[in-house]
Structures are given as C-alpha cells and as structure tokens.
Amino acid sequence: MRIVVPFAPGGGGDVLGRLFAEKMAPLLERVIIVENKPGGSTTIGTDVVAKSRPDGNTILLTIPLLLQTSYLFKKLPYDPLKDIVPVVDLVKSPLWIAVSTQKTQATNIAELVKEVRANPKTHVYGSIGNGSSSHILGNHLNKVAQLDMLHVPYKGSAQVSMALASGEVTMTILDLVTLGSLLPTGKVKLIAVTGAERSALTPDIPSLAEQGYPGFELPTWAGFFVPKNTPADIVQKIHNVTVKVINLPEVQPRLKDLGYVGGGKSQLEFQKQVDEENIRWGRLIKGSGIEI
C-alpha cells in the first residue's frame, strides 16, 4: 500500500503521513510506503491518486487545497468532488500567522499592518503553494487591511518556514508542527491564530478576530481519500483502522505535540464537511480576486 502525500518532505502533511503509515501497517498486516509527490499546489499528487486503481492500495493524504484548487485553476485533470472519495478526517487545527524577526518588529497584527503600510512594496508573505490556505488567507489579510505584501509560493511548508527564519519573507500562515521548532531560535514569532478563538496550544496568542480581523475562521485539516469506485467494504476498513490509530494512547499525545486535534468522523460526516467547506472556500476565493 502507499500513502501519497502531495507535499515535499519535512512539513506537517509529511509528518502525518509517516506517523499513520507506521501505525496502520501492523493493523492491516501490510507494508505501507509514503510517496511524496509535491508540486502544482497538490494537484500532481492528487492526480496520481485519482487515476490509480480503486483497490484500496493507494490513499491520498491531503488538506483543504483539494477544494481550493478547483476555484483557482482554469482546468484540473480530475474532479476533486467526484474522482476521489473522502474516507476519514485525520486531524484539524487552526493556522498561525508568523513573522520573521529579521524583517519586522511587529508583535501583533496592528503593528504589522502599520509597518507594512509605512514601507510600501517591501514586504513579502510566503505560502505552501498557489491556492493554499496560506495563500488565500494571506491575500485576504492584504485585502481587508489594505496592504501590498507580495505573495511568493513555495513547494511546501518546510521550505516556506525556512524562508521565514532566514528573513527571505516577512510573514507566513502555517501550522504549529512546522513553526514550532523555529520558535526557540527567536527568528520567528507568532502574532495571531486563525479560528473563532485562541488555541489552547498557544493561549497567549490572540486570534485574528480578537485583533479586529474577522473572516479567518475556517480551520485547516488533513484527511484520507481514495479513488472513486473503491469498494465500500475496503473504504470502511481503511476508515476503521485509521480511527483505531487516531485513538491509540501513544498517538493522541503525539498529535497534540504536533499542534493537532485528532479527527475520526464517520465517512458520511467527513463527506458532509468536505461538501460544506467546498461552498465556503468557493465564496472566499471568488471574493478574493485571486487568479492562478
């Protein structure tokens, strides 16, 4: 079996893929390999899975980019709502706005806004790829705060986080699993968190809404998907084994340490979530003016 991760090694998606592959293998009595297929804002890896044999041996681990790209690309080689099937949500998490201390002294959103406005055409925000949550939300911040930060896409979260630490970009919006190891260096600082309220993982970091910028409430998540026409009994088996892994006593604290809350919804519940978020992301993207 293989878990296709449409991101470069080293980021949150890659870490999750390897964790679940390790824990699922003995339960399924199979060898499970993780294949990193980054590029095209996850469309390359997703296309591989969409065109794979529907026999349960190929699983896609992806994030909301699955939905976002359908509104950003003029044409995709697959239909994200028809050619792959949601199986189960693995984790959910807010995202954090982080800044490079080499590029800005800002400790909150108001200070960042003031500094960017005072220095036009000099600040950059990085994302994990065109059409990603970090791109869309960064663009939304530009729009609502009347900023002119330039967007630069990278191939994955590990790459953009290193760009942030080196001062190559001023700001990014990422998960805590990627940013956490950089915080002790002092080169990266968290100044806000998405979601309706503060995260228990970083109780000292106020939400964007709390700082006067609503519209950043959509959470990020990671989930398993399989090609359409995969037999229902195989889909259910993958679901059941995944839920077992999520609830393993050694996995729960690991997910928390990474900055995630474990998932485990039924297939129907996850399908409903995907359908609803598809509509919400569509509205946000259409109103953002982003084109790829």
Is it the case that residue 39 has pLDDT exceeding 90?
no
- Tell me the pLDDT tens digit for each residue of 67-81: 999 998 889 999 999
- Report pLDDT for 41: 85
Q: What is the DSSP letter of 185?
A: G
* Mean of pLDDT values over 118-124: 95
**Residue 188: beta bridge partners?**
100
pLDDT at position 35 over 90: yes
> Which pLDDT value is given to residue 16?
94
List the one residue out of 132, 127, 126, 133 whose CA is nearest residue 43. Answer: 132
- Tokens coding 34: 């993780």
Query: Tell me: the pLDDT tens digits for 159-193?
Result: 999 999 999 999 999 988 889 889 999 999 999 99
Distance in angstroms (rounded) separating the CA atoms of residues 7 and 4: 9
Q: How wide is the angle at C-alpha 89 spanned by C-alphas 162 and 34, nearest 5°? A: 55
**Domains of the chain (ranges, CATH numbers):** 2-92+220-288 (3.40.190.150), 96-193 (3.40.190.10)
Q: Measuring CA to CA, which residue among 211, 210, 100 is closest to residue 164?
A: 100
Q: How far is CA 102 from each of CA 86, 108, 151, 189, 204, rounded to the nearest angstrom? A: 41, 15, 18, 10, 22
pLDDT at residue 289 above 80?
Answer: no
- What per-residue confidence (pLDDT) applies to 3? 98
- Residue 127 pLDDT exceeds 80: yes
- pLDDT at position 292, please? 66
For 215: left if phi > 0, alpha if psi spans -120 to 50, otherwise beta; the answer is left
pLDDT in tens, 192-216: 999 888 998 899 999 999 999 988 8
- Give the three-class secondary structure for 228: coil
* Range among 135-149, 151-165, 194-208, 227-241 with highest mean pLDDT value: 227-241
Residue 189's pLDDT is 98
Q: Would you say residue 153 has pLDDT above 90?
A: yes
Angle at 230 between CA 16 and CA 40, to 5 degrees: 50
**Cα–Cα distance between 102 and 170 in angstroms, integer?**
8
